[in-house]
Amino acid sequence: MKKFFVLGVLFVLPLVAYLFFSSGVNNFAKLPILTRDVDNLSNFQLLNGDQVVLNDKITILSIYGSDIEAREGNAFNLNEKIYDKNYQFNDFQFVVLAEKGTEKQAKKLLKELSTTIDTKKWNFLFGTKNDIKKFYQSLKADVPLDENTSTSYAFIIDKSRNLRGRPKEEDEAVKYGYDTSSVAELSNVMTDDVKVILAEYRLELKKYNKKEGLQ
């Protein structure tokens, strides 16, 4: 009897584990569009004064507002779970919106992030509090900014400036963004959704290259 019990446990546990982890998998062929035509970033500038565009880029966008130091943990979580696995994709970029006056905090955080990986695709952009609020309103997300004009949520924006995410399901609300304070959400949800959108564009690129080769 003991032998059968042990064999049963060895069979059932892997099956339960598989069902548990597979339940978080995104089954969309394409990651749904939740908000179309979000604002551009013309009012924001990089540390060197240059600008960054959303068009023709797959963007992971964060908003750290007036206190970048308070979001260091969120940045490290994103760096490890999302950026590290995808930054070599040509049209992929990270954008962080912060208030003017936090440039020193941004430099410090970039230096800390770069100890383990090349952070060339981390872009800290600076604008006014109103600039950040105006841009955030264009996302039409359901999570409010805090008193520092900041949020722990990161957002996926496609090459046409559309916010991507998950629509309302039976037991789940609409997912406009991903809570970067939760390693589980990054690992089990956002990682999968980023894979879906990158695969979507890889497929489009293959189709385009095949079409060009036939001409």
Beta carbons within 8 Å of 40's beta carbon, 6+ residues apart: 53, 54, 55, 161
Does residue 21 lie in a domain region? no
Q: What pLDDT, in 10s, does the model give residues 58-80?
A: 999 999 999 999 999 999 999 99
Token pair in block for residue 209: 């290259």
Q: State the Cα–Cα distance between residues 152 and 73, nearest whole angstrom.
A: 10
If one counts the domains in the chain, the total is 1
Q: What pLDDT, in 10s, does the model give residues 140-190?
A: 999 999 999 999 999 999 999 999 999 998 788 999 999 999 999 999 999
Say which CATH number the domain at 141 has: 3.40.30.10
pLDDT value for 13: 46
Does residue 184 lie in a domain region? yes
Does residue 174 lie in a domain region? yes
Q: Which residue has the tokens 């040509």?
A: 90
Secondary structure of residue 6 in the 3-state scheme: helix
Residue 114 to residues 75, 88, 92, 107, 183: CA-CA distances in angstroms? Answer: 12, 15, 17, 11, 20
| Residue 150: how many other CB atoms lie within 10 Å | 22
Contact 132, 63 (CB under 8 A): yes
Q: Give the mean pLDDT of the chain.
A: 87
Does residue 5 lie in a domain region? no
Does residue 71 lie in a domain region? yes
pLDDT value for 81: 97
Give me the domain span that covers residue 130. 30-214
Does residue 18 lie in a domain region? no
Does residue 210 lie in a domain region? yes
Does residue 8 lie in a domain region? no
Pinpoint the alpha helices (H) of 79-190. 84-86, 103-113, 129-139, 183-185
Q: State the Cα–Cα distance between residues 86 and 88, nearest whole angstrom.
A: 6
pLDDT value for 205: 66
